[in-house]
A and B are shown apart, each in its own frame.
Chain A
Amino acid sequence: DAKTTQPPSMDCAEGRAANLPCNHSTISGNEYVYWYRQIHSQGPQYIIHGLKNNETNEMASLIITEDRKSSTLILPHATLRDTAVYYCIHGSGNTGKLIFGQGTTLQVKP
């Protein structure tokens, strides 16, 4: 099963950029990288995904290395409401099966 490696926790000052790393060395050629976050006891929320190019949306930016073995999620201006567990996942496109790791607990501090 697909596995990713993320630091268990990170802190970030409010208003600063939060950079969350992820290693996904077992990713295969047709697999996407997905990022979700989960705020306490709620369902995971989709943030962004990418295949090999860097991506940006209204929530975040995703930087994927050229060899696709790692990526970084960037929250450009973190707020207190961004405090959550962030999950990096990779998987094939056509199923609803995703393998979640333990994620990174991001604590945004005032």
Chain B
Amino acid sequence: KAGVTQTPRYLIKTRGQQVTLSCSPISGHRSVSWYQQTPGQGLQFLFEYFSETQRNKGNFPGRFSGRQFSNSRSEMNVSTLELGDSALYLCASTYGRDSGANVLTFGAGSRLTVL
């Protein structure tokens, strides 16, 4: 089956601009979560969406936002970009079941460079 697809894979923006990243989860997965990875901070949880509702949120400023559509596809948006937003942004999907393990499948990531 197809994996988690993230687009675009690479992008360059300048400070003050905004960016939208897209994630298509594995078919049947209803939970989509987003992570930011930087050399200094490692992998940090941004937020998670389940059935079009934000279910969990990490400790990031309001410039970072997301949404999920009825087909479970998700987008995240970063407004007023700062140099420190340069990072690998990873999306992961899982079934999001109430019990049992939920194994996350990660996409290849979107590499954002802010100049």
Q: A95-B31, A97-B48 are in contact. Are A44 and B90 (CB under 8 A)?
A: yes
CB pair B56 A96 closer than 8 Å: yes
CB pair B56 A43 closer than 8 Å: no
CB pair A43 B90 closer than 8 Å: yes
A1–chain B nearest beta-carbon distance, Å: 9
CB pair A43 B43 closer than 8 Å: no
CB pair B101 A97 closer than 8 Å: no
How many residue pairs, one in A and one in B, have C-beta atoms under 8 Å apart?
A: 79
CB pair A98 B88 closer than 8 Å: no
Cross-chain contact of A97 among B33, B99, B105, B108 (Cβ < 8 A): B33
CB pair A94 B33 closer than 8 Å: no
Across-interface contacts of B44 in A (CB, < 8 A):
100
- Interface set of A (CB-CB < 8 Å, partner B): 32, 34, 36, 41-46, 49, 51, 87, 93-103
Given pairs A95-B33, A95-B55, 16 additional interface contacts (CB within 8 A): A41-B109, A42-B109, A43-B4, A44-B43, A44-B104, A49-B103, A94-B97, A94-B99, A94-B102, A96-B48, A96-B93, A96-B102, A97-B33, A97-B58, A101-B42, A103-B42
